[in-house]
Amino acid sequence: MQVIEAFRPLPQNQNWALDGLKTYMSAEDAIADEQCNDSVHLFYPEKLMETARRFLAGFRGTNLYAVKANPHEAVLKHLWQAGVRDFDVASLREVELVAKTLPGANLYFMHPVKSRQAIRYAYAMGVRGFSFDSLDELVKIEEETSGASDLKLFLRLGVVVKGAAYELSGKFGAPLDIAPLILQRARVSAQRLGVCFHVGSQCMNPQAFADAISQAATAVKAAGVHLDVIDVGGGFPVAYPGMEPPALEDFFAVIHKALDANGFSGIETLCEPGRALVAEAGAVAARVELRKGEDLYLNDGTYGALFDAGVPEWPFPIRLVAADGRETSRETIGYRAYGPTCDSCDKMAGPFPLPADVRESDWVIFEHLGAYGHSMQARFNGFYSETMVAIVK
Ligand SMILES: *Cc1c(COP(=O)(O)O)cnc(C)c1O
C-alpha cells in the first residue's frame, strides 16, 4: 500500500476525490492486504470518470446524477471532478450530504412525495427544483416555500412504456388524463415549469424514451401552457450477463430525435442517470465461508450489497479469486449462493458460473455493482462491510 503511493503519487485533486479511501492496483491486492472479515467494496474511479464524460459529451442537456444509486462521497467527488454539477436527491439526508460534500452543486428534489419539513429545509438550503405528481403535493411545495417566485417545478408524468427490467411506474406519476389540469395550475407558481418521468430502471429499449417523450408532448399540448424544461429521467441500462443493451449513445440519439420531433428542441433538457453512471464503477468481493456441494455460503448477501442478486435475481458478471493463488479448474459449475445472515430469504439463486473447484476462503467478485449495492446494505445480524477501497491502475 505505502509502496504504491510512494511510487505513484496521486495529484492533489485526486486525493480530495478519493475521500480517504485506500488505493490498490488490483482487487487481488486489496483482498490480500485488507485481511478483512467482511466483504470488500471495490471502487473504480477511472471507470466512473470515463462514464461520466460519456454522459456529459453525449447527452445534449444537463446530467443530474441520481444520488440514491451510490451516495458514497468518493463517488460524488469524482463525478464533480468529471464535470457533473447537478444532482437528483430524494430525501433530506441526500440534500444534506450533497450540499455538505459539494457546496455549489445544483440540487433537484425529485421525489414526488416529500415531508413538509423536507421541502422547507431544502428550500432554505438553496434547492429550487422540486417534483410532484398531484395537486396536493404542489400546494405543499407552494406553502412550505412561502409562495416563492423562483421555483423550478416538475410534474412527474405517469407515462406508460415498455422496456425496463425494473418497473417504476407502479408508485408515482400523474395519470396522463389529469396531467394537463395540474400543469395549468403549476404554471401559476412556477418560475420555470417542467415535466419529468421515469421509464423504469435498466431500460433495454431506447424507444421507451421516445414513447414517453411523445406522451409528455400530448399532455403539454392539452394543457396549452408554455413549458420551460423537459426531464427525461433515469433508466439508462448497463450490460449484465444475458442483458446486452444498445450503447448509451443510441439512447441519446433516439431521445434527441424524439425531443425534436415533439417540439421540445428549444427548451432546457435534463436527464437523471443513476445506475448507468455508477454501476460499472463498483464491485463487491465476497468470501466463501463454506462450500456444501453446489451451494456457496458467502459473507455478503441480500441484506448486504447483493439485494439485487437475491430478490430480483439479477445476474452480475462474476469471477473467482483463489485464496491461495492456485490455477483454478477450467470446468465451471452453476452455483447457488447464500448470504451470511440467519434469514432463509438471504439466498441468491444464481446460477453463478464459477470454476468447479471453488474452495472455502476463495473470493467471488461481483462486478457492475457500483449502483444499488453498497448503498442498500443493512446491518442485520451484524453482517455488513465498511471496507471500501479504490482500485487505481
Ligand atoms: C431512481 C431514480 C433515478 C435513477 O434511476 P436509474 O434507473 O438508476 O437510472 C432517476 N430519477 C428518479 C426520480 C429516480 O427515482
Tens digit of each residue's pLDDT, the chain (393 residues)? 344 444 444 445 788 999 999 999 999 999 999 988 999 999 999 999 999 999 999 999 999 999 999 999 999 999 999 999 999 999 999 999 999 999 999 999 999 999 999 999 999 999 999 999 999 999 999 999 999 999 999 999 999 998 887 776 678 999 999 999 999 999 999 999 999 999 999 999 999 999 999 999 999 999 999 999 999 999 999 999 999 999 999 999 999 999 999 999 999 999 999 999 999 999 999 999 999 999 999 999 999 999 999 998 888 999 999 999 899 999 999 999 999 999 999 999 999 999 999 999 999 999 999 999 999 999 999 999 999 999 998
User: What is the 385 CA–ligand 1 centroid distance (Å)?
Assistant: 25
Nearest residue by C-alpha to atom 15 in ligand 1: 111
- The string over 49-79, giving b where at least 16 C-beta atoms fall within 10 Å of a residue's C-beta and e elsewhere, is bebbebbeebbebbbbbbbbbbbbbbbbbbb
User: What is the 234 CA–ligand 1 centroid distance (Å)?
Assistant: 5
User: What is the 21 CA–ligand 1 centroid distance (Å)?
Assistant: 26
Residue 235 CA: nearest ligand 1 atom is 7
Q: pTM for this structure? A: 0.94
Query: How many angstroms from the chain centroid is the CA of residue 260?
Result: 27
Instruction: CATH 2.40.37.10 in the chain: give the residue spans.
Output: 280-391
Q: Which three cell numbers stand for residue 302?
A: 441480500
Distance CA 126, CA 102 (A): 13
Domain 280-391 classified CATH 3.30.930.10?
Answer: no
Residue 164 CA: nearest ligand 1 atom is 7
45-278: CATH architecture: Alpha-Beta Barrel (3.20)
- Name every protein residue with a CB atom under 6 angstroms from any ligand 1 atom: 66, 68-69, 88, 110, 198, 201, 233-236, 272-276, 371
CB of 303 closer than 8 Å to CB of 376: no
Query: Helix, strand, coil % (nearest 5) of the chain?
Result: 35, 25, 40
Distance CA 155, CA 153 (A): 7
Instruction: CATH 3.20.20.10 in the chain: give the residue spans.
Output: 45-278
Q: What is the pLDDT of residue 170?
A: 74
User: What is the 257 CA–ligand 1 centroid distance (Å)?
Assistant: 22
Q: Which three cell numbers stand for residue 283?
A: 464491485
DSSP 8-state secondary structure symbol assigned to residue 271: E
User: What is the 66 CA–ligand 1 centroid distance (Å)?
Assistant: 6
Distance CA 272, CA 63 (A): 6
